[in-house]
Structures are given as C-alpha cells and as structure tokens.
C-alpha cells in the first residue's frame, strides 16, 4: 500500500472532522486524535493513527513506493465505513 499525499490527508481530515468529530460528529463513532506520519522529503503521509474513546487503529503504507496513491487514503475510509456501516464516495 502506497502513501497518501498531503492534499489527500487534508481531505481526510475534513471528512473526519465532519463525520467523526468528538462532539459535533454525525457518526456514533468518535475520533479524538488523528496522528499522521509525514515524510517531508516528498510530502507524503505514510502513517495515520486514529484514536477514539477506548480504541485506536493504525494504518501504515507498506512497500518501497514513495509516490502518493489512493491506497492508504482508501484503506482508512474503508475501515471507517466498515465500522460504522456508513458510505463515503472516495471520488468526491
């Protein structure tokens, strides 16, 4: 799984803030912290840790790919959709 771009990460943050905000989120699942790992050499996010109330989940890009792709981004969204039974258009 390849890393995501900083632009994709910002899009993910916007989505998380809207749907999973600890106070104002639309989902019953709440996220308190989003902890990224950012490689400043090529402006990619290779690691995302989500921390909620009593749970946490880590997503890490694997392999040698340094080029951003949708894989890590889609992996995080797929997890959230699976856990909440929600839907999100990844092409939006």
| Nearest C-alpha neighbor of 55 from the set 77, 33, 25 | 33
| Nearest C-alpha neighbor of 88 from the set 23, 21, 14 | 14
Give the predicted TM-score (pTM) of the model.
Answer: 0.85
pLDDT value, residue 30: 92
Read off the pLDDT band of 92 (50, 70, 90): very low
What's the pLDDT tens digit per position in 54-76?
999 999 998 666 667 788 999 99
Average per-residue pLDDT for the chain: 87
pLDDT value, residue 1: 78
pLDDT value, residue 88: 54
């Amino acid at each position: 799984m390849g890393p995501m771009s900083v632009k994709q990460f910002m899009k993910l943050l916007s989505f998380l803030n809207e749907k999973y905000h600890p106070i104002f989120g639309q989902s019953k699942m709440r996220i308190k912290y989003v902890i990224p790992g950012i490689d400043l050499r090529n402006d990619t996010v290779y690691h995302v840790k989500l921390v909620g109330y009593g749970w946490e989940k880590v997503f890490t890009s694997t392999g040698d790919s340094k080029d951003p792709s949708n894989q890590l981004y889609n992996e995080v969204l797929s997890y959230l959709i699976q856990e909440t039974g929600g839907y999100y258009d990844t092409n939006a």
